[in-house]
Amino acid sequence: MTQGRAEWLRVPVGDGAVRWATRGKCLRVLVVVHNVTSATRLLDVLPLFDGDLRIQLLATCPQSSAFSAGTAELLAGTGVPVLPWEQALQTPVDLAVSASFGGELELLRGKLAVLSHGVGYTKRLAAPDTGHRTPDAGAAAGTEAGARAGSESGPVPVFGQAPQWVLSDGVPVADALVLSHPEQCDRLRAACPEAAPTAVLAGDPCFDRVLAARPYRERFRRALGVRAGQRLIVLNSTWNPASFFGDGGTGGDDLLPALLPRLAREFPVDEYRFAAVLHPNIWHGHGPGQVRAWLDRARRGGLALIDPLEGWRQALVAADAVVGDHGSVTFYAAALGTPVLLAAAPLHELDPEAPISDFMRVAPRLDPGAPLREQVDRLVERHRPLPGPAEFTTSVPGEAAARLRSLFYSMMGAAEPEWPASLQPLPLPGHEPVSVTVPLHVLTRVSHRGEVTMTRWAGAPPSAGCADGDVHIAVHEDTRDVDGLELADVVFRDGRPDDPRFGSPALWTAEVLDRHPGCALAAFVAGPSECVVRPRGGRLLGLTSAPEAPVDPAAAASALHALLGAGDGGGNAVAGRLVALLADGGFTVRTGARSARVRVVGLSPG
């Protein structure tokens, strides 16, 4: 245990801490973080200790998880003193809080509370190795090793419920096992009677934060770049080969390689926005850089990749539908009443008695062989929430903060602070504008009233979609598909109008038309609802739409291109149409069922 002792902390605990610590009489609360996944739940509850000068927070990582990558950086970001695991085992604490089992928790010197890091305990996982009782130390039920373990020694145990997980030498590992619903208590009692006395019904702090954030749904949607009239579809995957993101393992199906290109082909970018919420074990098991590389083409087609620690709950609140699997996030979405379509549902990996299994049996399934857009639209339009998820996620909604703080302080033998217990509100994410850099194929139809009906696809459109209307190509200047720039009718980019690298929107548009002789219009997007455009042979123009319901400025530029070229007729005809547009003050753009007005003004070259 003394190996690496030079790395041990000396303040606020350790050798000489009494001499060096400014507040040395504090109650010690040790947060045991196995991996980034468990950290999400622990970060939910840490604010319960805010403001209490009697508490000294400490953190440690048992290094028992196969997914420990990223944990050290996360802990450093909290600013809480981090103890090496060996020092944590030697340090007396008043309370230890974990959101997983593992790393010989029974050796900690203090009372231990264990929380679930999902919607209760639902998954079957092979029995852990001695000393490494953690959900990713054993083999998942769907893997070859997991199946072998189940066939040789009976059914694969349920993580967090079976004796193999919750007992050590016949004694409960936790002094308090926090559960969110009485049905979890019933399953624990049936699976491991010895641990049943440790069960505490204290709700679900994660879901309580989500429930409290629902009034801010429109803000979250705007942060994700969702425009009026768009549907936000969240793609959600837990980890392991049988998940939505998984490759199916031995003999399984790999859905994603064929599915992702179809999202671009079947869903117009102005009517749908996609976001991916992937389990932290995917991010940190394969590496964030690898995940981004795998999804690069989809991201360039407009897919938002959501931060696995902070952003996924806001994305759930914002979603119009979720395409997911057997993970907790999908069940949380259903508990919110959001339409859910199952892309993967390996029931053999779940406790058949858990409510999530009941939900997986009856929830609608994705048919990979059928048109995707029709399935998503039908899901949203015919949705009737199933009662199970909302009923069984927590039996005490809104009460987790009060119940958990009461539990924690009673375990320490200390009086609670006088102020009410509360959780942190979900933060408003930074704005993530839609950035489509693959070539856009734009189908337009111009009415006699000067209204432009438009459909844009990130990639080649369905062949049947181009029968009625004119098609042109619009390409972002930063595209990796550089050959597309030479074929582009419209070239656009986004940036700050005062960015000296571009000189000015006027200079940039002139340079683009000079560099790309086949381009008919250049558009500099200067904000969510405005851009500066220059038609070839025409004057500099400003296009704006109402900030409360903006039109994508790149779409407005394509609509203007369609208007100026309607009926062709040469330069004089184009000039005449431009004069008419300026006289009318603008034009109307229709995408899907939504129409909006775009204002046109003439700009001086300066």
| Region of poorest pLDDT, from 24-28, 155-159, 194-198 | 155-159
Mean pLDDT of 209-214: 98
pLDDT digits 0-9 by tens, 308-363: 988 999 999 999 999 999 999 999 999 999 999 999 999 999 999 999 999 999 99
d(CA 469, CA 467): 6
How is the beta sheet containing 112-114 ordered, strand by strand?
82-83, 55-60, 27-32, 95-98, 112-114, 176-179, 199-201
Which pLDDT does position 141 carry in this prediction? 52
pLDDT band at 572 (very low <50, low <70, confident <90, very high): low
Of 329, 307, 319, the closest CA to residue 218 belongs to: 319
| Residue 76: both structure tokens together | 């450093």
Higher pLDDT, 103 or 211: 211
Q: Which residues pair with 182 in a beta bridge?
A: none
d(CA 453, CA 595): 9
pLDDT band at 605 (very low <50, low <70, confident <90, very high): confident
Which pLDDT does position 149 carry in this prediction? 43
Cα separation of the two ends of the chain? 72
Which pLDDT does position 123 carry in this prediction? 87
Q: Tell whether the model's pLDDT for residue 478 goes beyond 60.
A: yes
pLDDT digits 0-9 by tens, 13-71: 988 888 999 999 999 999 999 999 999 999 999 999 999 999 999 999 998 888 889 99
Q: Tell whether the model's pLDDT for residue 565 goes beyond 90.
A: no
pTM assigned to the model: 0.92
pLDDT digits 0-9 by tens, 7-27: 899 999 988 888 999 999 999
Is the backbone peptide bond immediately before 397 cis, with ω within 30 degrees of 0?
no
pLDDT digits 0-9 by tens, 524-560: 999 999 999 999 988 999 999 998 888 999 999 999 9
Q: Is the dihedral of CA 118, 124, 126, 130 positive or negative?
A: positive
| Region of poorest pLDDT, from 125-129, 150-154, 265-269, 317-321 | 150-154
What is the Cβ-side half-sphere exposure of residue 198, based on CA atoms within 13 angstroms?
A: 22
Which pLDDT does position 2 carry in this prediction? 46
Which pLDDT does position 169 carry in this prediction? 93
CB burial of 130-143 (b: ≥16 within 10 Å; e: otherwise) equals: eebbbbbbbbbbbb
Average pLDDT, the chain: 90
| Region of poorest pLDDT, from 238-252, 303-317, 360-374, 492-506 | 238-252
Which pLDDT does position 279 carry in this prediction? 96
pLDDT digits 0-9 by tens, 163-192: 998 999 999 999 999 999 999 999 999 999
